[in-house]
Chains A and B, each alone.
Chain A
Amino acid sequence: MSTTAPAPAPDATKEEPALKPSKDEGDGSSWVAKLTLLFVCVLFTIPTFGLLISSFRDPQAIRQTGWWTVITGGETFSLDNYTTVLNAGMGESFVNSLTVAIPATVIPIMAAAFAAYAFAWMDFKGREFLFVIFVGLLVVPLQVALIPLTRLYNTVGINNDFVKLWLAHTGFGMPLAVYILRNYIGSLPREIIESAKVDGASHFATFWRLILPLSVPALAAFAIFQFLWTWNDYLVALVFMTSGAEVVTVTLAELVGSRGQDWHLLTAGAFISMVVPLIVFFALQRFFVRGLTAGSVKG
């Protein structure tokens, strides 16, 4: 994945800006370029924008006139739709989603980091073969695990929905975690590890005092990807969560199915389901980009 590795944040600095501007800057064609870009940006933003505006409108108004008619004025906006949908189960689902996503993000990290260190800096038999298993598993469709895991949970007697999801997400996230961390830890300078060895540090001490603190950017990239992935997941939650303890995606999908015309609920509900990922997106864009680009190969 060397081609995906650079993936800088959108604000990556340009080298040599002087060479980049096209020669026709200033004449007509650069305006064509700007207008095209503006058009695409508007096109991509309007769906979310329309949803957001609508979520503050009166329930009757939403399905009688288009949301763009609000520019004519005279409409009152309120948070009523949010109150309604939060009380209709979305509030509980929001807490459930957090409860699923945070442990499912944190739990795999430690095991993955230890494994990544071993794969990067320890010599042992079968090292490459075992790591190739992780690389291969990156693209395995996770559908493969759903029926067997349902049975396994039954046999072992795991009845708690949250535990089922924490374990499943830990398993599904592990190949990616090991892969990202190993690539990062493997790229640390050899001298650091060797000087620690010369000083008599054990592997455990080297890992704990040296490697882990140095790996924070990679840990953050994985954590953000895994958090968004588990927060936005629908399929795994649908399979392992019994009704009554639903996450935001499942609740929203259920609302679409059962109350598909109640757009005041759907618009506000959709926005509640999106607000956490959007905050993560705007606050941590640099890590977010790195995590997503490294993680998008995940099955």
Chain B
Amino acid sequence: MAVAISGVVAVVLGVGGALLLFWGLNAVVERLPKAQEELLKPYVFIGPAMAVVGVFLLYPSILTVWYSFQTRIGTPNQEFTLNNYVYLFTSSELRDSFINNALWILVVPAGAVAIGLLVAVLADRLRPTSEKIAKSLIFMPMAISFVGASTIWLFMYAWRPEGVDQFGLITAIATGLGAFPSEPIIQNTSFRLNSFALMAVMIWLQAGFAMVLLSAAIKNVPGDTIEAARIDGASELQIFWRVTVPQIRSTIVVVTTTILILVLKVFDIPRVMTSGNFNTNVIANVYYDLAFTFGDRGRASVVVVALIVLTLPFMYINIKRFREQEAMR
């Protein structure tokens, strides 16, 4: 109860405080001569938001880069080192995690987009009510946390020794087909089967997101281009690949990169399902262990620097796309 009250107080203080701050700053600025007022007011309006990202994102980014060159951080013996970078490029644990992340990047966006596209195209042919229901069902996992989804799928993958009833659906189906797995799926490292089992969870979560965007794009494809192809005798598959897909290409790219960025930083699913064991470790989990289990801030920071470098191309693309839109505005 006390906790809930503190929440209410926080909302009131947070919102009220922010309003008072703006009102006060605004009142001060309005007392200035007109010219100065016009000059300063925009900065009053953006000031608090800038301060927040400065403290919570910009300053930490700079500090992280700095930490990546430091050892024994926070002790009197803190000093410059390149050892964290040696670790980044030579650690076999990190290399294995990068390989896993690369696999996730190859499989998850493609899988989610493929399923999203399939559902979007098929649902488009249904009556509106059925379409709405079908899409809601596919989209629903988006509301579920990664931890919740991990629990759901651990239950799907649950395994018991041979001879007793299986209560994990996947294991039960495999057993029913005469292919009883001799060990739990999430521990099966052959062909990285367990990593793929974890990726399935992410595809399950993200396919709905892909579907919603792709479906909106498909509905924007002009009907007469499709009709023209149909009159020319094109089959439905030809129409899909040669008429629809080229016209929704930019949406496919946006969806793919969005999921890709997400997968680059995937943490919760491996953390909860395998703790990164059985050769399923990923970069973000290595980072977490370095930073908060072993307290090695230098090495943890170098891993984050690697993550930032990997997201830089997407940052560039976003900014470029923003500039193009501005030019058109």
Contacts and interface: CB of A to CB of B under 8 A. Distances in A.
Q: Do A and B bind each other?
A: yes
A200 B26 CA distance: 16
B82 interface: no
B53 A110 contact: no
- Chain B at the A interface: SS class: helix
A36 B216 CA distance: 21
Contacts, number: 384
Contacts of B291: 146-147
Interface residues of B, number: 132
B61 A144 contact: yes
B162 interface: no
A133 B284 CA distance: 24
A274 B147 CA distance: 10
A189 to B, nearest CB: 13
A98 B4 contact: yes
A224 B118 CA distance: 28
Which of B118, B148, B292, B300 has most chain A Cβ within 10 Å? B148
Interface in A118-176: 118-119, 122-124, 127-128, 130, 132-141, 143-149, 151-152, 162-163, 166-168, 170-172, 174-175
Contact of A117 (B45, B61, B323): B45
B107 to A, nearest CB: 17
Contacts of B322: 1, 132, 135
B46 A130 contact: yes
B261 A19 contact: no
B161 interface: no
A280 B278 CA distance: 36
A196 to B, nearest CB: 15
B147 A95 contact: no
A137 B26 CA distance: 27
Nearest to A106: B11
B137 A144 contact: no
B16 to A, nearest CB: 9
Contacts of B23: 204
25 contacts: A1-B254, A6-B220, A10-B215, A15-B219, A19-B226, A19-B227, A37-B134, A40-B118, A44-B207, A47-B153, A65-B165, A67-B167, A100-B7, A141-B265, A141-B284, A141-B304, A145-B56, A171-B56, A172-B57, A177-B49, A235-B268, A248-B145, A249-B145, A292-B142, A299-B261
Contacts of B267: 234-235
B143 A281 contact: yes
- Chain A at the B interface: SS class: helix
A89 interface: no
Which of A21, A117, A135 has most chain B Cβ within 10 Å? A135
Contact of A107 (B11, B265, B301): B11
Interface stretch (A76-84, A213-221, A262-270): A262-270
Given A114-B49, A256-B150, A278-B143, A95 B3 contact: yes
A48 B167 contact: no
B111 to A, nearest CB: 12
Contacts of A112: 49
B281 interface: no
Nearest to B253: A3
A268 B139 CA distance: 22
